[in-house]
Structure 1
């Protein structure tokens, strides 16, 4: 599939590696940077979603997504992303991701507005009492992460892992390096972390970064 991910906000908290490991399925292992494990909330726009050799369609190709994630590697040492949840406001996209990629997509009511550089983003998962809200501004100066920096460890992940009926499988994700930028965040919610089973960190994110977006190819799951 071809996708474009736009106006991404990455909110990261350092987390106890042993606690994260207990949440992972057999075959996956928590990944760390200089001894630190991380959990993240990532709201963004999905644009121009289409299968290979098919055109994008306005009513099913553009939607919102918010994921809760951590960083892992498998027994072969391949680094990637493990998703605890992926909230989405387009039912066909939820069905497609659950069916073909075995990812924990969740139905949600979501809204986003972009005005004078500020993004107001909200997400309320189906059945949830509380709405998660985010207000952020991505700077207009971008840079690529250095390979030895924490930004690279957190952002440049080219495999996603999924727990399928046949066991752990991975899907390759291909894109150019993220153009990364500093962000101002006026409002954020930890509600998605709580829904994933984590406690309230009771502090602001330990790491914030944003990106205007990248074009992405997502490939089928393999062993």
Structure 2
């Protein structure tokens, strides 16, 4: 009985060690996901910045044309005022986008653990070369899901803990000196007939 208990304790320690490794893996995977998220966020903001800058340039050009039209009597002052409003709005949008871009770059530097200056740029072209089969990808996702793996480990640890406690309980029942030899053998035989003990011994 004592050997069984120690065996279950050893198995439980091994499962706990593997659970700790899974928790470390979870931290690494979360960091990688965060890195990818911030990287693509920076790429998106770079594209947005360029788009807003082009919109601002168009608004400025429209203001110049509206002023020419007003000077030559082809349009009223309202067109120029509308163009000025659009320029102000586009300028504010550009400043906000630049601020978001700087914040995203700072976050990217933080995750990478380096001190790259704010004016660095990244490649915004993304190419997906590998197209996986949906069912195969789903199966790999289930088999490698870090949260499912941790739940399975916790289930194994709890099962081993129950068996270890059961072993300690049986050890108390048949401990040498508690009863004479005949009673001990009789108690062991009776215990072996119970489903719980049979399941315990078959493990």
With normalisation by structure 2, the TM-score equals: 0.17
* More strand by percentage: 1
With normalisation by structure 1, the TM-score equals: 0.16
Decide which structure has the larger Cα Rg and report it: 2
* More helix by percentage: 2
